[in-house]
């Protein structure tokens, strides 16, 4: 019996992942770029060899669906594994569009593989974490990460690649939390709905590689306006595939829209601040760290909570 605790941070996509070419393996239809964030964290303890399978999430026994997902993931690591105990906690809202599944499966991949005594090379763990939740493959690394779509049918070339560490660029992501309700439609179902029904889906897929190429160059050049422009373009093309799905899928709430217009008004006044949204109502704003407090003050009247987050580090073992 071995017990290991690992932590990982969520990541927010700068160029988005939305759509799968292989559902069971979480192989993406599009490449993506992300920023791993400090401040929010998942902490997961795995005991490899327990009396029976147990999964506790945020201090209580997890529901059957979440538990089944976690134990199926441990079966990928070892189909003949012993019963395991997994205790995981997020210090931010779970399942509300704040990338909790990304940090969750990155921390779980690292803790469980270490507890089993496996090789914990981050690229190998990234391939593994992707099978738990696609975006988790980007949370093994800190800073700016690319996830290439890959070509192999088994997904061996579909994993994160570190582009630049957290100290590369002094930017912040200001996160306006407008609702902590669990999302009504999960990302996997939303992506499939868009793939199967949105008339915009093929255009979305066709333009993604170009957006990643522009975004990567902007990251290397520390060009905030360039990165912000392509991040907003990717964000609203992705949401357009959701809005034009049948039935339509809209994660936005009235407060989300108020936040977007607030940021665009700041930008009209000369501040370089750029919006993004994921599969939930929260609004995230990329800006220089020196401008984060100004952005946060402007968003506060519309939000339940506002967080100013800097680039974060990689998933790591803590004990």
Question: Based on CB atoms, which residue is closest to ligand 2P0, 172 or 276?
Answer: 276
Q: Is the separation of the CB atoms in 88 and 61 below 8 Å?
A: no
Shortest reach from residue 235's CB to ligand 2P0, in Å: 8
Shortest reach from residue 26's CB to ligand 2P0, in Å: 4
Shortest reach from residue 244's CB to ligand 2P0, in Å: 16
Longest dimension (CA), the chain: 61
- 3-class secondary structure for 67-94? HHHHHHHHHHHCCCCCCEEEEEEECCCC
Given the rule CB under 6 A, which residues bind ligand 2P0?
13, 16-18, 26, 32, 101, 133-135, 187-188, 278-279
What gap in Å lies between CA 148 and CA 31, rounded to an integer?
Answer: 5
Question: Based on CB atoms, which residue is closest to ligand 2P0, 44 or 133?
Answer: 133
Question: Based on CB atoms, which residue is closest to ligand 2P0, 7 or 282?
Answer: 282
Phi and psi at residue 204, to the nearest 5°: -55, -50
Question: Based on CB atoms, which residue is closest to ligand 2P0, 7 or 133?
Answer: 133
What gap in Å lies between CA 96 and CA 130, rounded to an integer?
Answer: 19
Residue nearest to ligand 2P0 (CB): 134
What does DSSP assign to residue 136? G
C-alpha pair distances (Å), 211 with each of 51, 151, 178, 242:
49, 19, 28, 19
C-alpha pair distances (Å), 120 with each of 10, 107, 128, 145:
19, 12, 11, 18
What gap in Å lies between CA 55 and CA 279, rounded to an integer?
Answer: 25
Question: Based on CB atoms, which residue is closest to ligand 2P0, 29 or 279?
Answer: 279
Shortest reach from residue 301's CB to ligand 2P0, in Å: 26
Bridge partners of 283, per DSSP, are 176
Of how many residues is the chain composed? 319
Question: Based on CB atoms, which residue is closest to ligand 2P0, 47 or 187?
Answer: 187
Percent of residues in the chain assigned helix, strand, coil, to nearest 5: 40, 25, 35
Shortest reach from residue 85's CB to ligand 2P0, in Å: 23
Question: Based on CB atoms, which residue is closest to ligand 2P0, 22 or 297?
Answer: 22
Phi and psi at residue 270, to the nearest 5°: 105, 0
Question: Based on CB atoms, which residue is closest to ligand 2P0, 17 or 40?
Answer: 17
Shortest reach from residue 144's CB to ligand 2P0, in Å: 14
Shortest reach from residue 180's CB to ligand 2P0, in Å: 17
Q: SS3 of 60, please?
A: strand
What gap in Å lies between CA 96 and CA 248, rounded to an integer?
Answer: 19
Q: Is the separation of the CB atoms in 280 and 11 below 8 Å?
A: no
Shortest reach from residue 155's CB to ligand 2P0, in Å: 12
């Amino acid at each position: 019996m071995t017990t290991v605790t690992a932590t990982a941070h969520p990541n927010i996509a700068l160029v988005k992942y939305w759509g799968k070419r292989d559902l069971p393996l979480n192989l993406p239809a599009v490449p993506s770029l992300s920023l791993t964030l400090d401040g929010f964290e998942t902490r997961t303890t795995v005991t490899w060899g327990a009396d029976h399978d147990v999964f506790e999430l945020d201090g209580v026994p997890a529901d059957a669906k979440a538990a089944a997902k976690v134990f199926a993931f441990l079966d990928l690591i070892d189909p003949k594994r012993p019963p395991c105990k997994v205790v995981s906690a997020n210090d931010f809202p779970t399942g509300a569009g704040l990338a909790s599944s990304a940090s969750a499966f990155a921390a779980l991949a690292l803790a469980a593989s270490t507890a089993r005594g496996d090789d914990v090379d981050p690229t190998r763990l990234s391939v593994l974490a992707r099978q738990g939740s696609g975006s988790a493959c980007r949370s093994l690394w800190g800073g700016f990460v690319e996830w290439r779509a890959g070509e192999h049918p088994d997904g061996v070339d579909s994993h994160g690649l570190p582009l630049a560490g957290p100290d590369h660029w002094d930017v912040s992501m200001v996160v306006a939390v407008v609702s902590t309700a669990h999302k009504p439609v999960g990302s996997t179902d939303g992506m499939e709905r868009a793939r199967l029904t949105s008339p915009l889906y093929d255009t979305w897929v066709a333009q993604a590689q170009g957006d990643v190429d522009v975004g990567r160059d902007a990251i290397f050049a520390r060009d905030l306006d360039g990165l912000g422009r392509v991040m907003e373009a990717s964000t609203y093309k992705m949401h357009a595939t959701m809005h034009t799905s049948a039935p339509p899928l809209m994660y936005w709430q009235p407060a989300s829209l108020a936040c977007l217009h607030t940021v665009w008004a700041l930008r009209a006044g000369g501040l370089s601040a750029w919006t993004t949204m994921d599969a939930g109502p929260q609004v995230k704003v990329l800006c220089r760290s020196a401008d984060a407090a100004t952005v946060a003050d402007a968003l506060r009247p519309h939000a339940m909570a506002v967080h100013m987050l800097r680039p974060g580090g990689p998933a790591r073992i803590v004990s």
